Amino acid sequence: MFFPSPFGEGAQRAGEGTFEAQRCALAEPSPPAPPPMGEGSNIQEDGMFGYYLDLALRSLKRNKSLTALMVLAIALGIGASMTMLTVLHVLSGDPLPGKSALIYYPQIDPQDLKGMQPNKEPPEQVTLIDGLNLLHAGRADHQALMSGGSVPLDPQKTDLDPFYVEARYTTPDFFPMFDAPFLFGHAWTEADGEAKVREVVIARSLNDKLFGGADSVGRIVRMAGVDWRIVGVLDKWRPNPHFYDLNTGSYDYGEQVFLPLQTMLDLRLDRNGSTDCWGNGGGGVGNILPSDDCVWLQFWVQLDTPTKAAAYKEFLVHYSQEQKALGRFQRAPNVRLRNVMQWLDYQMVVPGDVRLQTGLAFGFLLVCLVNTVGLMLAKFMRRAAELGVRRALGASKRALFAQLLIESGVVGLVGGVGGLLLALFGLWLVRQRPSDYAALAHLDLSMLFITFALAVGATLLAGLLPAWRACQVAPALQLKSN
C-alpha cells in the first residue's frame, strides 16, 4: 500500500536525492567524514590537515584547466626568479666560508701630489718596496705578497707539447692564510723563499696531466727554461670569486703553479695584471718589472681579532707617516683595511646586469602572483554554495580558511616542481653563455630548498585574499538561493 509523504512531494524528491547520493558514495571512494566543527568542539584543527588535503586534491581535479593555469603561472615565475637568484647567489658567495672576516686587504697611498683629491681612495695595489716592508714587518698573524703571471712549461712526456700555465708568484703564508689544501707535500719555507730557491707547488689538475695523479713531490718540472723541484701538490681548490687578485680574473680562474715571489723577481719572469704608475714610473721599454713608482702587487693579511685589525690599521697610518718623513710619500696618510667580503663589495665584482636581471625576474614573479590571485579568487568564489553549506553545518570560518590555504599550498608545491624544472633549464642556458661565470651556474641544495619554500610561500601569500573573501560567504543567503 502506498502512503503519501506527510512532507509533500518536494521532501520525497529530497529523500530520493539523499538515497541516490548514498548509493553513489558506496560506489566511489570518498573522503572521511569530518569531525564536528562547531564552536564547542574539542577536536584540534591540526588533526584536520589530512582531511583538508584530500578536499584540496579533489577540488583541484574538478577544475583541471583552472588548476593548470595557476600551476603554470607559479612555475613560470618561480623558474625565472630562481634562475637569476641562483646566478646571483653563486656570484656573490663567500670564497672563504668561515674565514673571510679574518682576511684583510691593506691599502696605502704612496702617490705624488698630482691629481690629489679629498677622500680619494688609495691605490688598489702596493709597490714592491712597500709590499716587502709590510711583509717583513710581520705585524699580522699571516701575510702574503703576490702577483700573477704565466710561464711556459716543457713537459717530460713526449706526447705533450710545451704549453703555458697560469702562475701565482707569492710568499709561503699564502697557503695557510687562504686554507689551500695539500694533496701531497707542503709549501716552501720562508727561508727558502728568501734564498730564492727554485721550488714549486702545482695544482692537482696539472699533476694529473703530467704525472697521472701520482705523488710527484721531489720530481723536476721545467718552466721558463729553468728546472723547478716540486715540493707540494694542491688538492682541488679554486675559490670563486678569485678574490685575492681580481686583475687576472674574477670567476672560474685558477693558477696551476705557485712559485716563490723572490725567485720570480730574481729570474724576472713574465707577469700579468694591472700596473698603475705616477711621475716618471713605468719601467721603460724592455723592463719586465715596474719601477718603484708603480703599484702592481697584492698584499693580504690575516688578523684573528677585531683588536688586531684596529691595531694593524693604526700601524698602516704610522707607516705612512714614517714614509712621508723619509720623503717617499708626499700625501697625508690615506689607508683602508677591508675584509674579503667588503673588498668584493667595493670592487663590485657581481656584474650589474645580473643584479638587474634578478630584479626583473622577481618583478615577473610578482606579476605571476597577481594573476594567481585572480584565478584563485574566481575558483574559490565559484564554490560559494559549497562553502555556505559547510558553514551552515557548523564549520567555522577558520576551518574554511585553513582548507582553502592548504589548497593554495598544493598549487604552490606542484608549481614549485615545475619551477624547478624551468630553473634547471634556465641555468643550462646561462652555462652556454660566453661569460667567465657561466660555468658556475648550478643549483645547490640551499637553492633547491629556497625554490620550494618560495613557491609554497608565495602561493600561500597569493591565496590569503581569495581565501578570506570566500570565507565571508553568508550561509543563509546561499541556502536560500539553493
Which set of grid coordinates corresponds to residue 339?
675584509
Q: What angle do CA 15, 21, 23 make, to 5 degrees?
A: 105
Cβ count near 251 (within 10 Å): 20
Q: How much is the average pLDDT of 239-254?
A: 85
Query: What pLDDT does 322 receive?
Result: 95
Report how far residue 402's alpha carbon sits from residue 379's, in angstroms, rounded to the nearest whole number. Answer: 16
Q: Give the C-alpha distances (Å, rounded to integers) separating 42 from 35, 36, 50, 394, 419.
A: 10, 9, 18, 14, 40
Report how far residue 82's alpha carbon sits from residue 419's, in angstroms, rounded to the nearest whole number. Answer: 8
Report how far residue 98's alpha carbon sits from residue 446's, in angstroms, rounded to the nearest whole number. Answer: 17
- Asked whether residue 284 carries a pLDDT value surpassing 50, the answer given is no
Report how far residue 77's alpha carbon sits from residue 170's, in angstroms, rounded to the nearest whole number. Answer: 47
Is residue 252 a contact partner of residue 436, using CB atoms and an 8 Å limit?
A: yes
Radius of gyration, CA atoms only, the chain: 35
Query: What pLDDT does 122 receive?
Result: 94
Which set of grid coordinates corresponds to residue 409?
599550498
300 or 374, higher pLDDT: 300
Is residue 165 a contact partner of residue 150, using CB atoms and an 8 Å limit?
A: yes
Report the range out of 6-15, 27-36, 392-401, 419-428 with the highest average pLDDT: 419-428
Q: pLDDT tens, 404-417?
A: 888 888 888 888 88
What is the amino acid identity at position 242?
H
Q: Please write down the HEC assignment for all residues of 166-224.
A: EEEEECCCHHHHCCCCEEEECCCCHHHHHCCCCEEEEEHHHHHHHHCCCCCCCCEEEEC
Cβ neighbours of residue 294 closer than 8 Å, sequence gap 6 or more: 127, 275, 276, 277, 278, 281, 282, 283
Q: pLDDT tens, 88-118?
A: 888 888 899 999 999 999 999 999 888 778 8
Q: Where are the domains of the chain?
A: 46-92+352-481, 100-110+122-317+334-347
436 or 144, higher pLDDT: 144
Report the range out of 182-196, 262-276, 442-456 with the highest average pLDDT: 182-196
- Could you tell me how far CA 355 lies from the centroid of its own chain? 12
Query: What pLDDT does 409 receive?
Result: 84
Q: What angle do CA 336, 337, 342 make, to 5 degrees?
A: 105
Report how far residue 272's alpha carbon sits from residue 167's, in angstroms, rounded to the nearest whole number. Answer: 10
481 or 225, higher pLDDT: 225
Cβ neighbours of residue 251 closer than 8 Å, sequence gap 6 or more: 91, 240, 241, 242, 436, 437, 440
For 338, the 3-state DSSP assignment is strand
56 or 425, higher pLDDT: 425
Query: What pLDDT does 3 receive?
Result: 41
Report how far residue 39's alpha carbon sits from residue 163's, in angstroms, rounded to the nearest whole number. Answer: 81
Which set of grid coordinates corresponds to residue 440?
658556475
Report how far residue 280's alpha carbon sits from residue 293's, in angstroms, rounded to the nearest whole number. Answer: 7
Query: What pLDDT does 211 receive?
Result: 93
Report how far residue 201's alpha carbon sits from residue 233's, in angstroms, rounded to the nearest whole number. Answer: 6
Instruction: Go through the chain and tell me how many residues it has.
Output: 482
Share of the chain above pLDDT 70, in %: 85
Q: How much is the average pLDDT of 218-224?
A: 94
Query: What pLDDT does 29 receive?
Result: 42
- How would residue 378 be classed by pLDDT, with cut points 50, 70 and 90? confident
**Distance, first Cα to last Cα, the chain:** 34
For 440, the 3-state DSSP assignment is helix
Query: What pLDDT does 440 receive?
Result: 80
- Of the listed ranges 85-94, 338-347, 436-445, 447-456, the least confidently predicted one is 436-445
Is residue 460 a contact partner of residue 405, using CB atoms and an 8 Å limit?
A: yes
Report the range out of 63-77, 209-223, 399-413 with the highest average pLDDT: 209-223
Report how far residue 320's alpha carbon sits from residue 292's, in angstroms, rounded to the nearest whole number. Answer: 16
Which set of grid coordinates corresponds to residue 279?
711621475
